């Protein structure tokens, strides 16, 4: 019998398949309820920022002799204020995050396009294509901002979950096929 059959992953292919299906369903749900997903994400981020900020502040008072006291206190206060604003005004938090996301896509797209045009490489076409897509995404988000902020975060989370799910599904099917054929090198 081939050693591939003794690989522990061969018995786990169905768990990858199950995980993939779950992620696709979860991603579809996130996209369907993109507004709720966005608000939940911003709310959770607000909780994390507030809790982190409070821990910075408490730690600053526990270590009053430390030279970094004021910077830690400042970061703590800034985190608490930012977190609290996200908790009490999730739409404003989503708008802020979405604005930064649009700026990131615009800058990243322009950088990729510039690199593709100025640097000789074998993947120049793909880099140019990727830069154009990234730039277009940034423009689309920015043109529709702040209205896009109510759904874009949830949409992106959903898309990421769906693609992650399909990656797991395809891996599971490949793993099942390789194991049933006794192909070595299953990882």
Q: With beta carbons less than 8 A apart as the criterion, state whether 137 and 21 touch.
A: no
pLDDT < 50: residue spans in the chain? 1-4, 186
Q: What is the pTM of this model?
A: 0.67
Q: With beta carbons less than 8 A apart as the criterion, state whether 148 and 99 touch.
A: no
Q: What is residue 183's predicted lDDT score, i.e. its pLDDT? A: 61
Query: Which of 77, 139, 80, 75 minimizes the C-alpha distance to 110?
Result: 139
Q: With beta carbons less than 8 A apart as the criterion, state whether 45 and 86 touch.
A: yes
CA quadruple 59, 61, 67, 73: dihedral, nearest 10: 70
Distance CA 38, CA 149 (A): 8
Question: Each residue of 162-171: pLDDT tens digit?
Answer: 888 888 898 8
Q: What is residue 60's predicted lDDT score, i.e. its pLDDT? A: 87
Q: Any idea what the Cα angle at residue 36 is, between residues 31 and 37, rounded to 5°? A: 55
Domain spans, the chain: 3-181
Q: What is residue 49's predicted lDDT score, i.e. its pLDDT? A: 94
Q: What is residue 124's predicted lDDT score, i.e. its pLDDT? A: 78
Distance CA 35, CA 2 (A): 51
Sequence-distant (≥ 6) Cβ neighbours of residue 143 within 8 angstroms: none
Question: Each residue of 109-124: pLDDT tens digit?
Answer: 899 899 889 887 767 7
């Amino acid at each position: 019998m081939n050693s591939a059959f003794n690989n522990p992953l061969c018995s786990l292919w169905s768990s990858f398949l199950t995980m993939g299906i779950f992620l696709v369903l979860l991603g579809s749900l996130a996209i369907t309820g993109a507004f709720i997903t966005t608000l939940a994400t911003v709310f959770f981020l607000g909780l994390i920022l507030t809790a982190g900020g409070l821990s910075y502040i408490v730690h600053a008072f526990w270590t009053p002799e430390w030279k970094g006291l004021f910077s830690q206190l400042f970061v703590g206060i800034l985190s608490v204020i930012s977190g609290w604003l996200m908790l009490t005004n999730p739409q404003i938090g989503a708008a802020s995050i979405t604005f930064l996301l649009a700026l990131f896509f615009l800058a990243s797209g322009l950088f990729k396009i510039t690199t593709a045009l100025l640097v000789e490489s074998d993947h120049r076409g793909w880099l140019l294509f990727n830069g154009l897509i990234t730039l277009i995404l940034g423009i689309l988000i920015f043109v529709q901002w702040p209205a896009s902020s109510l759904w874009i975060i949830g949409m992106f989370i959903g898309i990421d979950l769906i693609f992650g799910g399909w990656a797991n599904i395809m891996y599971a099917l490949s793993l099942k096929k390789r194991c049933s054929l006794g192909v070595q090198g299953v990882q």
